[in-house]
């Protein structure tokens, strides 16, 4: 039987991530030792008390039914967490919504508010899930270039008037993936003013809120007026190393929350209740776990950035997130340099153009291996002529 795909599937081609995975597999089968710094998944476990909470509640036979939505205790824990960590007040009854990992919410969000012919303003380069969600909605993406000369903040003034008039959503991501930039309060205030004028919903992806070093990131909702125009996505994947648990949440404008909940009620039956219980344990934790996790990533960052400088590859030291956004040496495209790194050094990174055209000339390097492995990667770069 011949299998024919829908026209919609034409918008979902083979991703560079699959291509890299296949090339990595080929190299491994050939006997090469590969250091993979391309992934964006934590390599560390959750806090012990979170694992204990999951292990305890998974033994409860009453917790195996449909959860449908987030339980009240989870919504309360999210509200408390936002008050404690970001000085932001969110009402648990109508300003919080659980999702099955933030990617689930990010991909479905555009379907709720945008139609074919509408624009969605999206960071370029930006997380690949944004493009997937826009494609599902049938709307048109409008890339907002993140340029070094603008501190990797979108230039709202450069957006054409006709695009502004037809834009329904603006997606922001600070600290970002792949670009680990931080937003300022003045930038967020400008976003709020812009969105009010053009009636644009703001979606701020705050998945890396706890992974910072010298400067704590701003919650979009901490800026006056933000809740009038938008919502913030957050996740337990990166902050608490719970990526496989698939649990995240949206907080903010109650009308936007209600609309997304209307769609979600038709798509799934909620997150496994023991996972919700584990998430509550994570969110209510007041131990030093987050500080210790940040210190681990900071040491990895310094190990890699300083090591790269020693071999002649000068890269900016990120202020937050789990990535280094590095310019490729002159004479290479992002993709060419990525494959040369695999072939000559056995190191896998992600080419910047996988995240949008403005990512050309960069690669994303994940701080997802221990210091010893990162040191080994730097040593390999010393032994090859690629950077010389």
The tens place of each residue's pLDDT in the chain, 388 residues long, gives 888 888 888 777 667 778 888 999 999 999 999 999 998 889 999 999 999 999 999 999 999 999 999 999 999 999 999 999 999 999 999 999 999 999 999 999 999 999 999 999 999 999 999 999 999 999 999 999 999 999 999 999 999 999 999 999 999 999 999 999 999 999 999 999 999 999 999 999 999 999 999 999 999 999 999 999 999 999 999 999 999 999 999 999 999 999 999 999 999 999 999 999 999 999 999 899 999 999 999 999 999 999 999 999 999 999 999 999 999 999 999 999 999 999 999 999 999 999 999 999 999 999 999 999 999 999 999 988 777 6
Both tokens of residue 273?
């209740």
Are 185 and 306 part of one and the same domain? no
Question: Does a cis peptide bond (omega within 30 degrees of 0) precede residue 175?
Answer: yes
Instruction: Residue 97: give its domain's CATH number.
Output: 3.40.640.10
- pLDDT at residue 319 in the model: 96
d(CA 283, CA 286): 8
Residue 366 confidence (pLDDT): 97
Angle ∠(195,201,202) on CA atoms, nearest 5: 80
Same domain, 275 and 293: no
We report the CATH number of the domain holding residue 296 as 3.90.1150.10
The domain boundary, picked from 231, 259, 283, lies at 283
Residues 265 and 213 in one domain: yes
Q: How many distinct helices (H) and strands (E) make up the chain? A: 13, 12
Report the distance separating Cα 352 and Cα 146, nearest Å: 12
Whether the Cβ atoms of residue 387 and residue 329 lie closer than 8 Å to each other: yes
Give the separation between CA 290 and CA 74, rounded to whole angstroms: 19
Q: Are 243 and 360 found together in one domain?
A: no
Statement to judge: residues 186 and 156 lie in one domain = yes
Beta bridge partners of 143: 122
Residue 304 confidence (pLDDT): 97
Domain identity same for 32 and 81: no
Q: Is residue 57 part of a domain?
A: no
263 shares a domain with 212: yes
Q: What does the pLDDT read at residue 154?
A: 98
Residue 16 covered by a domain: yes
Pair 156, 15 in one domain: no
DSSP states of 301-325 as a string? HHHHHHHHHHTT---PPPSBSSEEE
Cα–Cα distance for residue pair 291/285, rounded to 1 Å: 12
* Total count of residues recorded for the chain: 388
Per DSSP, the three-state class of 346 is coil
Q: How many domains does the chain have?
A: 2
pLDDT (0 to 100) of residue 316: 95
Domain assignment of residue 346, given as a range: 9-38+289-382
Taking the model in full, what pTM does it have?
A: 0.96
Residue 129 lies in a domain: yes
Residue 46, C-beta contacts closer than 8 angstroms, at least 6 positions apart: 240, 241, 242, 278, 282
- Please indicate, yes or no, whether residues 182 and 296 belong to a single structural domain of this protein: no
Question: Could you tell me if residue 55 is inside a domain?
Answer: no
| 148 located within any domain | yes
């Amino acid at each position: 039987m011949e299998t024919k795909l829908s026209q919609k599937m034409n918008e979902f081609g083979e991703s560079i991530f699959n291509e890299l995975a296949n090339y990595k597999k080929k190299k491994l089968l050939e006997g090469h030792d590969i250091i993979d710094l391309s992934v964006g998944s934590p390599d560390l476990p959750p806090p012990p008390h979170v694992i204990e909470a999951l292990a305890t509640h998974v033994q409860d036979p009453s917790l195996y039914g449909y959860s449908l939505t987030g339980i009240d205790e989870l919504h309360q824990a999210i509200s408390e967490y936002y008050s404690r960590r970001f000085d932001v007040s969110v009402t648990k009854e109508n300003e919080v919504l659980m999702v099955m990992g933030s990617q689930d919410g990010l991909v479905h969000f555009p379907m709720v508010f945008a139609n074919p012919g509408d624009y969605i303003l999206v960071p370029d380069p930006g997380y690949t899930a944004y493009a997937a969600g826009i494609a599902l909605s049938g709307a048109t993406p409008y890339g907002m270039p993140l340029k070094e000369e603008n501190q990797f903040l979108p230039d709202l003034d450069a957006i054409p008037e006709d695009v502004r008039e037809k834009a329904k959503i603006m997606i922001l991501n600070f600290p970002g993936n792949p670009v680990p930039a931080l937003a300022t309060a003045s930038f967020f205030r400008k976003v709020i003013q812009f969105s009010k004028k053009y009636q644009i919903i703001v979606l701020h992806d705050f998945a890396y809120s706890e992974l910072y070093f010298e400067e704590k990131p701003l919650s979009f909702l901490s800026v006056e007026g933000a809740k009038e125009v938008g919502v913030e996505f957050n996740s337990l994947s990166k902050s608490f190393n719970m990526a496989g648990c698939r649990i995240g949440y949206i907080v903010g404008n109650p009308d936007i929350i209600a609309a997304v909940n209307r769609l979600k009620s038709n798509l799934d039956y909620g997150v496994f209740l023991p996972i919700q219980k584990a998430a509550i344990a994570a969110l209510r934790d007041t131990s030093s776990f987050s500080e210790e996790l940040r210190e681990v990533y900071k040491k990895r960052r310094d190990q890699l950035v300083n090591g790269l400088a020693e071999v002649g590859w000068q890269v900016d030291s990120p202020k937050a997130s789990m990535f280094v956004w590095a310019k490729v040496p002159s004479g290479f495209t992002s993709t060419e340099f990525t494959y040369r790194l695999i072939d000559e050094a056995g190191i896998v990174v992600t080419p910047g153009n996988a995240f949008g055209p403005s990512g050309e000339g960069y690669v994303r390097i994940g701080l997802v291996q221990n210091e010893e492995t990162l040191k080994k990667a730097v040593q390999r770069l010393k032994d090859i002529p690629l950077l010389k």
